[in-house]
Amino acid sequence: MKQTPPKKTPHQPPAEGEAPRYWECPVCGYLSADPAFGGGDTKCPLCGAPSDARRMWPPERQRKLDARIRAYQADGEDEIVVILVATFLEALLEDILDRIMQTRGADASVRAAVLDGQRAVGIRIGRLFPTLTGEQFEDAAAELGFRDFPHRWRQMRAVRNAFIHDDPYEGVQETISPAISADAMQLLDQAYKLFVSINNRFVASATRAKQAPSPA
Ligand SMILES: [Zn+2]
């Protein structure tokens, strides 16, 4: 493998080719890319919480993995890019399902048991998501402006599986092309935006509704 690019200092705004930066309201879970929100200049527009203790999202662990994926892409390691992006998106899906369950009052042990019992990504998308939100994942994605995301994500998983598992029924995939790797990078960028939209719709607003104080 070739050299990875030099590390950037953490306080710079995200450069081109870096994970996006959002900030999270610790009270209602609202996520915003607005620097004024992240810098603590404004109250939370959703719940009115004061501006302290806003956390960056995605967290450092995911930002590091994102940086490694982008380095592999720059090196032309297309198979690794697709395998890692597919894994990364599955982790994002687990995170959002966990947040939705938390919003709905499930404690950590319940959430862990549900996620442990529903490990297959297809079941999580096709059954768990609609059970928790009352909407099909495809419909929610389309409403939030990401109509082709579920289909492209499914295609990428199929390519990944055919490459890894050597499945004669799915077709054997000896290599993964730069075009598929580039498509995976687009999916990664879209996945952040879709995650934030789903979060602000099904996590932040629901939490707000539950916690809304009666008018004084
Ligand atoms: Zn808030």
Pairing of strands 31-32, 22-24: antiparallel
Give distance in angstroms: CA of 5 to centre of ligand 1: 36
Distance CA 25, CA 41 (A): 13
pLDDT per residue rounded down to tens, the chain (216 residues): 444 444 433 334 566 678 999 999 988 999 999 988 988 888 998 888 888 888 899 999 999 999 999 999 999 999 999 999 999 999 999 999 999 999 999 999 999 999 999 999 999 999 999 999 999 999 999 999 999 999 999 999 999 998 988 666 666 778 999 999 999 999 999 999 999 999 999 999 766 656 655 444
23, β-bridge pairs: 32, 56
Residue 161: name the closest of 182, 178, 176, 177 by CA.
176
Give distance in angstroms: CA of 100 to centre of ligand 1: 15
Give distance in angstroms: CA of 115 to centre of ligand 1: 26
Give distance in angstroms: CA of 54 to centre of ligand 1: 10
Distance CA 183, CA 168 (A): 24
Give distance in angstroms: CA of 208 to centre of ligand 1: 7
Give distance in angstroms: CA of 118 to centre of ligand 1: 30
Residue 115, CA distances (Å) to 94, 118, 132, 194 in order: 8, 5, 12, 20
Peptide bond before residue 58 is cis, with ω within 30 degrees of 0: yes
Give distance in angstroms: CA of 27 to centre of ligand 1: 5
The whole-number pLDDT of residue 31 equals: 96
- pTM for the model: 0.86
Distance CA 163, CA 86 (A): 12
Count of C-beta atoms within a 10 Å radius of residue 53: 11
Residues less than 5 Å from ion ligand 1, measured at CB: 25, 27-28, 30, 44, 46-47, 49
Give distance in angstroms: CA of 8 to centre of ligand 1: 30
As a 3-state breakdown, the chain gives helix, strand, coil percent values, each rounded to 5, of: 60, 5, 40
Distance CA 94, CA 123 (A): 12
